[in-house]
Amino acid sequence: MIIWLLLPIVVGISFFATGVLRQYALAQDLIDIPNMRSSHSVPTPRGGGVAIVLSFLTALPVLALTNMLPWVVMWALLGSGAGVAVIGFLDDHGHIPAPWRLLGHFTAAIWALFWLGGLPPLNLLGMALDLGWLGHVLAAFYLVWLLNLYNFMDGIDGIASIEAICVCLGGALLYAIPDFSGSSQTTAYIVLVLLAAAVTGFLFWNFPPARVFMGDAGSGFLGITLGILSLQATWVAPQLMWSWLILLGVFMVDATWTMMRRLIHGSKVYEAHRSHAYQFASRQFGKHLPVTLVVLGINMLWLLPLALSVGLGKLDGLLGLLVAYLPLVVLAVKFNAGGRE
């Protein structure tokens, strides 16, 4: 099967491309210098996440040509992912004003929704809920928020990579669950496995202590790509939206809780800061690795079983989400997410 050929190729391209991009960043002086807003203490090159973009997007046409990925999903992922990555790449090299970045992000979200057909009907308390045009608008904001929160949460070594791999593999497992017609999704998991492979090649360089950072190009790309894949899964089976929101819980809760508290305090939410729960935790532990490993444990031991229970229909989606998020909110409060630094 072609997937077994693509997997090592994608990992290899990502691994070697990250090394090349690291050298490029050093040559171009694209270095994150530690400051009062940083969570790291050693100057580190950034922009290595472009390797994830290149290795993953290169594989998409191959999947589409071999009928393992619908063309509409391929165009949604390719156009939106490339657009967001270009915006992030330019921002990594020189600051782009926030309004222009936001315009580009919404354009990418609208592009993806055009190809996907917008927001599919949702499963709420056992009933199908079609929100119509309101749903499409909400879906656009969902994609843009996920894109930006992924950028916010990419602040310590390895955390964004570990989160992406966990979510992708969890999403792939969800496709092993028979859909309402009784058939199984035999190829839909492949794109998720390949994205996990692309991130794995980069993680070798990004695992604590990181030798290169992802940069806006990589983090924004992962955010919108995971969002698109969650909407695709919802078109397959409505309850899977709840499962995906559960899988994304660590980033969703920390970023959203932090933003809400900063808004209440009157802080400028678009300014750089280090008041996320994971950042307070990394300073408390004195290193990044314990926090990154805890995120891995929460994803695998808490969120994944709940997401699978919802996907199997053994747990209502909304109830499952509340159960999954409650301990995460407790952790956000414990580590003072959004508090003054």
Residue 105 lies inside a defined structural domain of this protein: yes
CA distance 269 to 105: 17
Residue 40 phi, psi (nearest 5): -120, 165
Which residues have CB under 8 Å from 192's CB, separation 6+? 168, 169, 171, 172, 175, 229
Between the CA of residue 331 and those of 124, 267, 276, 328, what are the distances in Å?
27, 22, 11, 5
* Beta strands 127-129 and 44-45, pairing class: unpaired
**Burial of residue 38 (number of CB atoms within 10 Å: 0-12, 13-18, 19+):** middle
CA distance 19 to 81: 22
pLDDT at 186: 56
Residue 188 lies inside a defined structural domain of this protein: yes
pLDDT at 117: 95
Query: Tokens for 53?
Result: 């973009």
Q: How many other CB atoms are there within 10 angstroms of residue 67's CB atom?
A: 9
Q: Residues 282, 288: contact at Cβ < 8 Å?
A: yes
Q: Residues 195, 12: contact at Cβ < 8 Å?
A: no
CA distance 81 to 221: 5
pTM reported for the whole predicted model: 0.95
Residue 158 lies inside a defined structural domain of this protein: yes
3-state secondary structure of 45: strand
Kindly tell me the sign of the dihedral angle through the C-alpha atoms of 262, 292, 285, 327. positive
Residues of the chain scoring pLDDT < 70 = 1, 35-41, 178-186, 269-270
Reply yes or no: is the peptide bond before residue 70 cis, omega within 30 of 0: no
Quote the crossing angle between the two packed helices 50-65 and 2-27, to the nearest 10°.
150
Query: Tokens for 230?
Result: 């969650």
Residue 341 lies inside a defined structural domain of this protein: no
Q: ∠ CA(1), CA(232), CA(215), 5° rounding? A: 85
State the DSSP H helix or E strand holding residue 251, giving kind and residue range, or none if neither: helix 249-265
Q: The domain containing residue 56 runs over which residues?
A: 2-31+41-334
Q: Any idea what DSSP says for residue 120?
A: P
Per the structure, the count of domains in the chain is 1
pLDDT at 41: 66
CA distance 304 to 228: 19
**Burial of residue 5 (number of CB atoms within 10 Å: 0-12, 13-18, 19+):** exposed
Which residues have CB under 8 Å from 234's CB, separation 6+? 119, 120, 122, 240, 241, 244
pLDDT at 178: 64
State the DSSP H helix or E strand holding residue 31, giving kind and residue range, or none if neither: strand 31-32
Q: How many other CB atoms are there within 10 angstroms of residue 117's CB atom?
A: 12
Residue pointed to by tokens 């290595």: 48
**Burial of residue 124 (number of CB atoms within 10 Å: 0-12, 13-18, 19+):** middle
Residue pointed to by tokens 């307070």: 280
Q: Residues 105, 81: contact at Cβ < 8 Å?
A: no
